[in-house]
Structure 1
Amino acid sequence: MLGTAEALDIFVVSLRDGFVQVSAFVAVTVLLFSYLQYRTGGRMIEFLENNERLQPIAGGLLGLTPGCGGAIIAMPLYIRGTISFGTVVATLAATAGDSAFVILALAPEAAVYAYGLALLSGILFGYAIDIWGLGVGRIDSAVEKASGPITDGGFATASVADGAPSVPPTDSAACDHDVTTRENRVMTTLSHAVHVAWWGVTLAGLAAGIEYLRRGAPEVAVSFEPTFSGLFTVAGLLGTTLSVYLYLVGRRYIGESDTGRIRESFADAYSTFRHAAMETSMVTVWVIAAYLLYEYGVVIFAVDIGALAAAAGILAPIGGALLGLIPGCAPQIVFAGVYANGGIPFSALTANAISQDGDALFPLMAIDMKAAIIATIYTTVPALVVGIGLHYVWPYADFGFGVIG
């Protein structure tokens, strides 16, 4: 039975780890792509709109960037109607998530092969969906029947199988300017101050996260002393607190109330930073929810990810692919650590790398749940194909951890 002290400890650690292990890295990648969008005046979006045949490739490359920032940028483009559903699947299949940082740090050679296969399979499967459909219509109908009419903002869902989002495409003109929904000088000033402080805490969290990976992703004690553990704890808890404020309150006062929507361009560098902070704050709220569900679930149901994935034979890649159905990066980070310690075969790591959608699924879930469900189902298909194929074709792939198939 889960005791009060243990439940509180899980709560605190989840709030801390979610920000340092995930959000700090997401913030940097989202800011990078937002800044490129700002410097190019929105030409990145124009390129995708004018080159439909290249979209799955572009989506795969966005997803391949370590962390989830590139893939997070792609999801609103689908809601907008800029990219195809096949591109969404290609992006999510190629997404390495935040577990990529663990593998890159501890097993870089394995990362090259696993994420290279994820990129290739994602692009090919994305094109196949756009060209032939591959039964998306049946999954679309099944999700509709199982869940009932899913709505968003009062609009009934459309058909994902037709390549369109399940919610009406957003009006780009409405998304290209800041909308302050409430006018209050005190709250506006406070929210801008919190935004600036958020970036300071994020930099501290990023430093702690990099050091955490450099040390081999160890267990970090909850501490408030002037040590690495103290920096990790304070940055994590404070960063999550500020993120929750920005997402639930601050965004309504500083002109970013419409999170999860793409922007054509930005007026200045400050608005670019602000947009990245708001998008990351939204992801943080979803990430923390996923961390809590995962951590409490593991304790309550006594789930051992390593034992599940290390099952004999072909069950290993199947387990890795099915684990990828869980949104977020928490279980995937644990999974990557198990691989680094020699606990699972390379086929399972690769299947998980393809199947997992990382935190990029959260913006899509927040706006178009139906499309998110269908997309995560479809990224599991190439994961199973490639993972099982590796099990039979390359059973003894070994990248220095004594791992065999």
Structure 2
Amino acid sequence: MNAGLEIALESLRDGYVQVSAFVAVTVLAFAFVQYRTNGALVAKIEKHERLQPLFGALMGLTPGCGGAIVMMPLYVRGTVSFGTVVATLAATAGDSAFVIIALAPEAALYAYGLAFVAAVGFGYLVDTTGMGVSRIDAAVARFSPATTDGGTTVRKTVGPNPGHEYPGGAPTHAHETGPDRHSTVLTPLSHVAHVAWWIAAAAGLVIGVVFLLRGGPEVALTVGPTFDGAFTVVGIVGTLLSLFLYVVGRHYIGEGSIGRARESFASGYEALLHAAMETSFVTVWVIGAYLIYEYGLVMTGIDIAATAAAAGALAPIAGAAVGVIPGCGPQIVLAGVYAEGGLPFSALVANAISQDGDALFPLLAIDKKAAVVATVYNVIPAVVVGLLTYAVWGPVLGMPEFGFGVL
């Protein structure tokens, strides 16, 4: 098979099984809680502003990126502060958490514990000092029209969002009204695709869990009645269904728009539609990141793992730098190198704080400048805590830098 085509198919497959299936579960759980409580959860989050960074960090701490992805639309609609976004992304464990938890559980406990503390502290610092309120958001607004409903203080100083003001009323595909297109072919076809998507998501979740329990082995690109064959078929079919729902289906069923938090849902099926559409949206961005990353490695020949491992005393900075790369692919590579004894614990800690996983993609799609600022902010605690860990972990505490907690 042509090498370029093989990379493309593997990216389509891996993105869905390793990321989307897990994201779907988290987004659906949040949507279902919203449906059962009639929007009470979001209302409580909005009401308790002082607890928002703490809640965001807890959501980010859940293995995978689903919890953090759920938080991004809440910032877009003005429900949570910018400091909450920073705390969420700083605590995001990403898919690399599954690797570390499986191969080095004790290291995972300490690394993600430190990331959580740093995330909460820095999130409150951002909100307290106004770095996300008057300085960053105002500066962003001067360069381009605002694309968020707030993300600073909720209900107090944030005015209407120009992006939501339309002469003559809301657009046809407004979030509140849903899609306006009806077709004797595409409408029922979109519903069928939606049901098929959830079947693929359920199968992908089972296959993804088995894949992680096996330690994330290499999976052959093949078709047949084997684990590798099921992995390949479910992954590619799931991605194709996601592309259909994102490009076509959302205009005929669901809500029409994407990347928006919902107050509540009229039915369980509506919650399912929302979760499928949001996850499909994330899938498109994830696949794009996978392709850029994989083709970039082929074209440049850079060995991220070897570069990070050779950093020596600068390993924490290297770990933080790898974390800046969007997506979970580079982080999974780094986690594997750590489990093999090729990286010091301080680099793992720095990477755990700086990485945003796939949670950054929804924010990048809707508010690019806020996403960039949040990413830059997260590098600061990542480097500081990473270097402190490097200075204290071994020399002072006498803990092993390499291989700590590896089974």
TM-score normalised over the length of structure 2: 0.90
Offset from partner CA, 1:200-230 (integer Å, 9 cap, x none): 0111111111111111111111110100000
Output the amino acid matched with 2:210. Answer: E
The AA in structure 1 aligned to 2:27 is V
Deviation at 1:107, TM superposition (A): 1.4
**One-letter amino acid of the counterpart of residue 12, structure 2:** L
Q: Is 1:127 aligned to 2:124, yes or no?
A: yes
Please tell me the residue identity of whatever aligns with 1:56.
Answer: P
Aligned length: 394
Residue 56 in 1 paired to residue 58 in 2? no
Q: Tell me, what secondary structure is at the counterpart of 2:197?
A: helix
Are residues 329 and 60 of structure 1, via their aligned partners in 2, closer, same or farther at CA, if it must alter by over 3 Å?
Answer: same
User: How has the CA–CA distance of structure 1 residues 264 and 257 changed in structure 2, closer, same or farther, with 3 Å as cutoff?
Assistant: same
8 A contact 2:89–2:356 mirrored in 1? yes
Aligned counterparts, 1:365-404, within 5 A: 365-395=364-394, 397-398=399-400, 401=403
Report the equivalent of 2:35: 38
Q: Describe how 1:80-95 pairs up with structure 2 within 5 A.
A: 80-95=77-92
Give the equivalent residue in structure 1 for 2:100. 103
Q: Report the counterpart of residue 272 of structure 2 in structure 1.
A: 273
Q: 1:166 to 1:290 in 2, by over 3 A?
A: farther
Structure 2 spans left out of the alignment, 5+ residues: none
Partner of 1:10: 7
| CA deviation after TM superposition for structure 1 residue 185, in Å | 2.6
**Contact 1:202/1:239 (CA < 8 Å) preserved in 2?**
yes
In percent, how many aligned pairs have the same letter?
60
The alignment partner of 2:254 has SS state of: coil
Gaps of 5+ in 1: none
**TM-score, normalised relative to structure 1:** 0.90
Shift of 1:127: 0.5
For 2:284, the equivalent position in structure 1 comes to 285
Deviations 1:245-287 (A, max 9, x none): 0011100000321110000001111111111111110000000
Q: How far did residue 69 of structure 1 move?
A: 1.3
Can you list the C-alpha shifts for 1:27-80, whole angstroms capped at 9, x where unaligned? Answer: 111111111121111111111121111111111111111111111111111111
Task: Assess, with a 3 A threshold, how the Cα gap between structure 1 residues 381 and 195 changes in structure 2: closer, same or farther.
Answer: same
Residues 278/336 of structure 1: CA separation in 2 closer, same or farther (3 Å cut):
same
Q: Post-superposition, which runs of at least 4 consecutive aligned residues in structure 1 deviate over 2 A?
A: 133-145, 155-171, 174-178, 311-314, 395-404
SS of corresponding position for 1:324 = helix
Residues in 1 aligned to 2:239 and 2:148: alpha-carbon distance in whole angstroms: 32
- The match for 2:239 is 240
Whole-angstrom CA distance in 2 between matches of 1:331 and 1:166? 39
Return the alpha-carbon distance in structure 2 between the equivalents of residues 381 and 26 of structure 1: 27
Match of 1:188 in 2: 187
Which residue of 23, 27, 31 maps to 1:26?
A: 23
Q: Deviations over 1:87-128 (max 9, x none)?
A: 110011011111111111211111111111111110100101
Aligned residue identity for 2:207 = A
How far apart, in 2, do the equivalents of 1:9 and 1:167 lie? 44
The separation in 2 between residues aligned to 1:60 and 1:157, in whole angstroms, is 21
Q: How much does 1:157 deviate?
A: 8.1
2:254 alignment counterpart:
255
